[in-house]
């Protein structure tokens, strides 16, 4: 059968590729330990002094946008362990329609997360940046941005190296 619709052809190719076992991909931490350690340091510096609940919201939203199941599982688990409300976790993906679940500061951070994560789709609009700047002082805003940068990097590492959702490499086996 010849498929004429490119969407169907692409979906068929993706289904076939997903069903075909791939050779194991590299372990980034072992293959590039200096880069990995530097990223851990950058991540720790970014989150320093930020509300842990806000940190998880940002990481979850970016992971949803990037389609990173590994990081999404990790950060929703971390949020639950930290006492995050289950209803809020369910609403992160639709936060604009569920604003009553999030503070104005959290909404500003989520909007900034979306703009930075999807930067190729229109940059970071002045109104989004301005709203975040109203809720965070300059140092906090810089750390929020750094956190968004790091989670996007972690997402790309996990996706590129085919990390498996549910496996948390931070936990010693």
pLDDT tens, residue by residue, 154-171: 999 999 998 877 676 665
User: Are 158 and 28 contacting, i.e. CB atoms less than 8 angstroms apart?
Assistant: no
Say how far apart CA 14 and CA 61 lie, in whole Å.
25
| CA-to-CA separations, 103 to 107, 121, 128, 135, in angstroms, rounded | 6, 26, 15, 10
Q: Encode pLDDT of 72-130 as tens digits.
A: 999 999 999 999 999 999 999 999 999 999 999 999 999 999 999 999 999 999 999 99
Q: Closest by alpha carbon to 153, among 49, 46, 53?
A: 46
The pTM for the full model equals 0.84
């Amino acid at each position: 059968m010849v498929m004429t619709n490119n969407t169907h052809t692409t979906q068929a190719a993706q289904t076939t590729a997903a069903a075909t076992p791939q050779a194991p991909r590299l372990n980034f931490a072992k293959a590039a330990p200096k880069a990995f350690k530097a990223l851990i340091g950058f991540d720790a510096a970014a989150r320093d002094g930020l509300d842990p609940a806000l940190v998880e919201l940002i990481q979850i939203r970016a992971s949803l946008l990037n389609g990173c199941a590994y990081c999404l599982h990790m950060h929703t688990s971390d949020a639950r362990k930290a006492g995050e409300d289950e209803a809020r976790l369910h609403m992160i993906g639709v936060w604009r329609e569920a604003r009553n679940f999030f503070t104005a500061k959290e909404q500003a951070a989520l909007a900034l997360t979306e703009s930075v994560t999807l930067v190729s789709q229109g940059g970071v609009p002045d109104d989004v940046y301005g709203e975040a700047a109203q809720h965070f002082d300059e140092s906090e805003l810089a750390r929020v941005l750094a956190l968004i940068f790091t989670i996007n990097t972690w997402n790309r590492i996990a996706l590129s190296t085919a990390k498996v959702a549910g496996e948390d490499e931070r936990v010693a086996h």
